[in-house]
């Protein structure tokens, strides 16, 4: 696809309340919609194929005992599908931010950007998942807390090429003083996304092919708005962090 350069998108320079974040995210999602849809379409197809594979696996579970290759195939396909999702996720985040900054967009280059980021996003995903799972084991609440606290570590790795451990620390610093508002946006939008999807596919639960097509279309057409909201939240958190008073230097003699 040809190289495209679009006008910069002006982001708010002052902290916003939740309503303003949703409005900014909605407008950002609309502004970047055309450039993001090809990637959210790939994301949707990969998700549906992944879920379809596990549905098939559930029906074939009894074969695992007689097929030594079954478990390996399960693991291999899971790695492939997760890799596709992580690469596309990286490309989407990069592309939205590139449009905000008025950078040139190129489908092939942006997709390759996401693929190249797998070497850092995969290790981060493993560490992030480990932290969240351990937290969930510890009475659930710590897992939810860590999932929100560390979410934007992916943005630091993708957009600022920060190392994995540093990205976790930066996300913690970014979110810690605004955890509840961040949780309200991430959990709230995630719940809305899931509920509306289930409402759309429920009437067709006996028609798997129709369900799959609806899911793919839903991911492709709706996810750009949600990614816009998450980017608006990320920018708002960064603005808030810049406005924090500097920490006094303990070595300073008064």
What H or E segment, with its residue span, contains residue 79? helix 70-100
pLDDT digits (tens, 9 = 90+) for 10-60: 899 999 999 999 999 999 999 999 999 999 999 999 988 888 776 655 455
Residue 187: the pLDDT is 95
Please give the distance of CA 71 from its chain centroid, rounded to a whole number. 28
Q: Of the candidates 241, 201, 245, 228, which has an alpha carbon nearest to the alpha carbon of residue 35?
A: 228
Within a domain: 250: no
Is 107 inside any structural domain? Answer: yes
238: three-class secondary structure by DSSP: helix
The conformational region for residue 106 under phi > 0 = left, psi -120 to 50 = alpha, else beta, is beta
What's the rounded Cα separation, in Å, for the pair 79 and 122?
A: 10
Does residue 19 belong to any structural domain of this protein? no
* Whole-structure pTM value: 0.87
Contact 201, 215 (CB under 8 A): yes
Residue 1's pLDDT band, with cuts at 50, 70 and 90, is: low
Taking 90 as the threshold, does the pLDDT of residue 173 lie above it?
Answer: yes
Is it the case that residue 99 has pLDDT exceeding 60? yes
Q: What is the mean pLDDT of residues 153-157?
A: 97
Q: To the nearest 5 percent, what fractions of the chain are helix, strand and coil?
A: 80, 0, 20
Confirm whether 82 is domain-assigned.
Answer: yes
Q: How many domains does the chain have?
A: 1
Tell me if 146 is assigned to some domain.
Answer: yes
Tell me the C-alpha distance between 146 and 71, whole Å. 30
Q: Does residue 4 fall inside a structural domain?
A: no
Helix (H) or strand (E) holding 4: strand 4-5
Distance in angstroms (rounded) separating the CA atoms of residues 14 and 8: 18
Look at residue 173 and tell me if it is in a domain.
Answer: yes
Is 128 a member of any domain? Answer: yes
Range of the domain at 213: 27-240
H/E stretch holding 218 reads helix 208-242
Q: How far apart are CA 214 and CA 44, in angstroms?
A: 10
3-state SS assignment for residue 104: strand
Interacting residues of 242 by C-beta distance below 8 A, sequence separation 6+: none
């Amino acid at each position: 696809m040809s190289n495209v350069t679009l006008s910069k998108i002006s982001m708010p320079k002052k902290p916003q309340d939740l309503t303003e974040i949703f409005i900014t995210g909605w407008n950002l999602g609309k502004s970047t919609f055309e450039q993001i849809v090809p990637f959210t379409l790939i994301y949707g197809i990969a998700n549906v194929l992944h879920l379809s594979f596990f549905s098939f696996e559930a029906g074939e579970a009894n074969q695992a005992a007689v097929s030594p290759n079954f478990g390996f195939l399960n693991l291999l396909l899971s790695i492939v599908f997760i890799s596709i999702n992580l690469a596309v996720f990286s490309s989407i985040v990069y592309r939205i931010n590139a449009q905000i900054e008025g950078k040139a967009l190129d489908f092939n280059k942006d997709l390759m950007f996401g693929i190249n980021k797998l070497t850092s996003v995969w290790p981060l995903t493993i560490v992030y998942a480990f932290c969240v799972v351990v937290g969930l084991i510890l009475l659930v609440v710590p897992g939810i807390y860590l999932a929100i606290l560390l979410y934007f570590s992916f943005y630091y790795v993708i957009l600022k090429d920060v190392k994995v451990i540093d990205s976790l620390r930066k996300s913690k610093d970014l979110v810690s003083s605004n955890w509840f508002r961040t949780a309200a946006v991430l959990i709230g939008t995630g719940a809305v996304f899931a509920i509306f999807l289930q409402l759309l596919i429920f009437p067709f639960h006996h028609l798997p092919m129709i369900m799959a097509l609806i899911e793919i279309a839903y991911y492709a057409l709706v996810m750009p708005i949600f990614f816009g909201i998450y980017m608006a939240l990320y920018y708002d958190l960064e603005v808030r962090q810049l406005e924090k008073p500097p920490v006094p230097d303990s070595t300073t003699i008064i």
